[in-house]
Structure 1
Amino acid sequence: MDARAPTAEIIRAARVLAARRLLLSAAPGWAFSAEGLAALHGGAFLAPWEGEAEKPMASDEPDGEGAFGDDGEPAPDDPLAAELAALDAALARTERALERRPAVDPESRDPLVYDLDWDEDERLAHWRDAVEFTSGLPPVLAAALTAALWDDIEPLQHVPWLGRLLAAALLRQRGKTKSHLLCVNSGARAVPRLRLKQADPVAKILFWLAAILAAAEQGLRDHDRWLLARASRVGKLSGRRGNSHLPQALDLALARPIVTAELLAQELKVSARAGQNLIAELGLRELTGRRRYRAWGIL
């Protein structure tokens, strides 16, 4: 949580994280099905504060009066009206996903931001047909081609990062990463960008192969660090009572990139003060450098 308004970078990071969680929570082959692509195309990965999805539908009429003003809008200070508006927004997002409609309708797109001649449905179908031809290739090569084809075809405007997640989803579908999504973006940052900028298709494929290799090596190093961090703190768990929350707090700190006292209190059903005590006992490192809205990490 930050006192300032979210920046464009934070919004984009939230969209990537939401898309990763959506892909990981679904079945391995869901991302490449018609339903999965429709959900991703429909903006199911939008951040909660982003776009028109959080606004109630204009055609919805309230069942009663009092919580709404004369113009049908919810009263600004009425909590019930805010809950009803949030429910309407969730229903609107569900209907958009079921109807396979984009989060921002083409008719309402700003020509200064979007290319109105960009046929996303046709480009997405072209990309999907091209990916189907990679079914007979080795999984890693197929994933590299998936990412390269997304960069070349550009099915969705302003969403270049989705192709990297779909490449990771393909590796999970083909059984190479059964329990997680590979961080292909992390590997791409570690590989020189010169290969990607070249027009040679072979150079682009080699770039994504190198990115997948770098991401796999980075994942192994992170895994070793997590095991070492857990092993160094296992001694603090010995001699504890059976109802101690410290083992659960350690598992939660390993499962999350950052934790807060409020998060520990909510997940472990303890007080906020007890959450702070658990953080101190585990010796977690403070990551924000602030007095308020602090967060800790195990590494």
Structure 2
Amino acid sequence: MVYDSRELSLKDLLHPAIAAEDALARLDDRVGRKNDLGEVRGRRTRDGLLRENDGWIERSHFVEACNALWLAGELVHVEDLVLHDARMDIRTPTHELTRAHAILRTRRQIAASPPAWSFSSKGLASLRGRATSEFAVLTGENIPAAESVAEDETEVKSDAENAFEDELANMDALLVRSSRLLAQPAEVGGGRGESKSSAADLTPDGEPLVYDPDWDEDERFEGWLAVHDRSRDLPPLLAAAVVWDAWEDIEPLQHQHWLGPMLVSAMLRERGKTRSHLAALNAGLRSIPRDRRRARDHTTRLVAFLEAVQVSSMANLKEVERLSLARMQMERKLKDRRSTSNLPGMIDLILSRPMVSTALIAKELKVSQRGALNLISELGVREMTGRGRYRAWGIV
């Protein structure tokens, strides 16, 4: 599928692009701001240096996952996603909730990886759940032999990295075995004369009941990557608008349409526009009417995206300031506390989650539920549920 890459109307895009660039730059500067001593404000924990705005970054992952499904017409509450992520569901997880959790894990994976990883053959294969060799042709990368890679990397990798690579290899092997099992010839079952789908009935993407046989994901994805390559000469934000619009128009993936805004955010980070965070685009796109996001006019769609970036950046900037003020107020209660107090960890936890429960606090901080209630009362945070069971607290 070919995307119409006609000339952009710079007269109509100039003002929205400048406003969006300014708002996004201010947000990125605020997230990565240093204090007067030239050091990132934070405290030393067992996991390393915790920055002041890490709480907002973690919160944005939860909110973006829910907003991604909202744009797809499905509703997932942030509170349910927080509990599901901690494996503390109060009810059976729905299909929408499991999809939201998959989006959350994908966004965390992109944010934790190097900036150039998302558009590498390995990154695209991991995000789509395909073999790495399938994307080597699309991205033009040369995949070295497994033996030479192993000889070079085993000396520099740590034990944790090697264990993680082993887990990924086991998962790949499981996927290969599952694919071979699904591709086996038809077998007559149970005397009913019914047969299973044979390998000839499968589409290149999988089962025809799930994937449209006429929908060639590889060809569409290759066309979208071509648009991404042609946009390198544009300014970062204008390029992001073009790449996002191409994703909406081409629709490369049938069941992972939510991956497009994440790849656009990864592109902004790769080009150095956002160095301190992964841009939260779904929050802004949610505020733009659908008739503008899906308009027939090319320029209208691009302007809608730029306005979404501006709205999202300004709202997130206010949220960062609000959480920073809340941290300052709660840290006043750390005065004269012993060094082994769990109160600093409680502050970090409540800033990194839209809501917390006693069970979640007990699990994360390794305290009893009675101790979790004591920590909550010492901080004086507000209860969000207003009921006796399944109580939750947060910064409102």
TM-score, length-normalised on structure 2?
A: 0.58
How big is the shift at 1:2?
A: 3.4
Aligned residue number for residue 11 of structure 1: 98
Confirm whether residue 38 of structure 1 aligns to residue 125 of structure 2. yes
Within the candidate set 278, 281, 285, 2:382 is matched to 285
Aligned residue number for residue 195 of structure 1: 292
Aligned residue number for residue 85 of structure 1: none
Contact 1:42 1:96 survives alignment (8 Å):
no
Contact 1:186 1:215 survives alignment (8 Å):
yes
Within the candidate set 218, 223, 230, 1:133 is matched to 230
What are the equivalent positions in structure 2 for 1:72-91 lying under 5 Å apart?
A: none
Give the unaligned 5+ runs of structure 1: 45-88
Question: What letter corresponds to residue 200 of structure 1 in structure 2?
Answer: D
Contact 1:237 1:246 survives alignment (8 Å):
yes
Question: In structure 1, how many angstroms separate the alpha carbons of the residues matched to 2:294 and 2:359?
Answer: 45
Question: In structure 1, how many angstroms separate the alpha carbons of the residues matched to 2:286 and 2:246?
Answer: 19
Aligned residue number for residue 271 of structure 1: 368
Distance change >3 Å, CA 96–CA 29, structure 1 → 2? farther
Confirm whether residue 245 of structure 1 aligns to residue 342 of structure 2. yes
Contact 1:146 1:166 survives alignment (8 Å):
no
Confirm whether residue 153 of structure 1 aligns to residue 153 of structure 2. no
Partner secondary structure for residue 321 of structure 2: helix
Contact 1:284 1:296 survives alignment (8 Å):
yes
Once structures 1 and 2 are overlaid, which stretch shifts more, 211-220 or 192-201?
Answer: 192-201
| Structure with larger RCO (C-alpha < 8 A, sep 6+) | 2
Percent identity, aligned pairs only, is: 46
Question: In structure 2, how many angstroms separate the alpha carbons of the residues matched to 1:138 and 1:95?
Answer: 41
Aligned residue number for residue 25 of structure 1: 112
Once structures 1 and 2 are overlaid, which stretch shifts more, 253-262 or 283-292?
Answer: 283-292
Distance change >3 Å, CA 128–CA 290, structure 1 → 2? farther
How big is the shift at 1:92?
A: 5.5
Within the candidate set 160, 171, 174, 1:93 is matched to 171
How big is the shift at 1:5?
A: 2.4
Question: In structure 2, how many angstroms separate the alpha carbons of the residues matched to 1:295 and 1:37?
Answer: 38
How big is the shift at 1:12?
A: 2.7
Partner secondary structure for residue 283 of structure 2: helix
- 1:190-245 deviation digits (Å, cap 9, x = unpaired): 12222122111211111111111111111101101101211222222222222211
Question: In structure 1, how many angstroms separate the alpha carbons of the residues matched to 2:366 and 2:232?
Answer: 47
Question: What letter corresponds to residue 30 of structure 1 in structure 2?
Answer: W
Question: In structure 2, how many angstroms separate the alpha carbons of the residues matched to 1:97 and 1:27?
Answer: 25
Within the candidate set 283, 298, 302, 1:186 is matched to 283
Question: What letter corresponds to residue 258 of structure 1 in structure 2?
Answer: M
Question: What letter corresponds to residue 29 of structure 1 in structure 2?
Answer: A
Partner secondary structure for residue 202 of structure 1: helix
Question: In structure 2, how many angstroms separate the alpha carbons of the residues matched to 1:93 and 1:152?
Answer: 33
Contact 1:39 1:97 survives alignment (8 Å):
no
Question: In structure 2, how many angstroms separate the alpha carbons of the residues matched to 1:125 and 1:95?
Answer: 26
Within the candidate set 291, 296, 299, 2:393 is matched to 296
Give the unaligned 5+ runs of structure 2: 1-87, 132-166, 184-201
TM-score, length-normalised on structure 1?
A: 0.75
Question: In structure 2, how many angstroms separate the alpha carbons of the residues matched to 1:187 and 1:277?
Answer: 38
Distance change >3 Å, CA 145–CA 98, structure 1 → 2? farther
How big is the shift at 1:26?
A: 0.9
Question: In structure 1, how many angstroms separate the alpha carbons of the residues matched to 2:169 and 2:360?
Answer: 28
Partner secondary structure for residue 214 of structure 2: coil
Aligned residue number for residue 312 of structure 2: 215
Question: What letter corresponds to residue 104 of structure 2 in structure 1?
Answer: L
Question: In structure 1, how many angstroms separate the alpha carbons of the residues matched to 2:300 and 2:122?
Answer: 33
Question: In structure 2, how many angstroms separate the alpha carbons of the residues matched to 1:141 and 1:242?
Answer: 49
Aligned residue number for residue 228 of structure 1: 325
Question: What letter corresponds to residue 223 of structure 2 in structure 1?
Answer: H
Aligned residue number for residue 2 of structure 1: 89
